Amino acid sequence: MHVHSYEKIWLGLALGLILLLIGSVTYGAVGPGVAMVAADQPTVDPTALDEDDRFAEPRVERVGENEYEAYVVAYQFGFSPDPIVVPANSTVTIMVTSRDVTHGFEVVGTNANTMVIPGEVSTITVETGEPTEYGILCNEYCGAAHHTMEGKLEVVPQEEFDASNEDGDGDE
Ligand code: CUA
């Protein structure tokens, strides 16, 4: 079969585009800084979060010396708690689930970024430094007000964290 040279160029370009697409999809799936939901995470019933020990009361809890766990619920169109207040210079494991549709959880300016899927618990561990404040964004389209869905992560001095937790749920 005779193929004109300009047709060869177009064929080559089309092939190149296909390879580029496959490449970018692969990179998106395994690329650095993107936490995917692990298959072995405990699952949760998104319609019964009220009855779940972790998510009935979204909060930040101390689990060890300088170790904390944050239980966060994403919903249309926000995050709870908001702000998420964590102590400085600590290890914080953030567990996020959704009570409605798929959302994103991205701590702006860091590589803490995960998808939040109803029925799944996404886990990210962060090391906090000095007191500061981060924005949290939803980066998965989740409905009409997706672009307004945001939260705050506040890193506060240890004393401030302890004080605010004492007059909170009083379990200290
Ligand atoms: Cu939640 Cu977009």
Q: How many residues does the chain have?
A: 172
Secondary structure letter of residue 43 according to DSSP:
P
Choose among 82, 62, 81, 58: nearest CA to 158.
62
Q: What is the pLDDT of residues 77-124, one digit of tens each?
A: 999 999 999 999 999 999 999 999 999 999 999 999 999 999 999 999
Whole-number pLDDT of residue 43 = 86
| Residue ranges, the chain, pLDDT below 70 | 1, 3, 18, 22-42, 167-172
Cis peptide before 81 (omega within 30 of 0): yes
Rounded-to-integer distance, Cα 42 and Cα 25, Å:
27
Q: How many CB atoms lie within 10 A of CB 30?
A: 9
Q: How many CB atoms lie within 10 A of CB 45?
A: 13
Secondary structure letter of residue 166 according to DSSP:
H
**Residue whose CA is closest, atom 1 of ligand 1?**
103
Atom of ligand 1 nearest to the CA of 116: 1
- With a 6 Å cutoff on the Cβ, whether 146 touches ligand 1 is yes
Ligand 1 centre to CA of 115 (Å) is: 10
CA 4 to chain centre: 51
- Assign 95 to helix, strand or coil: strand
What is the pTM for the complete model shown? 0.74
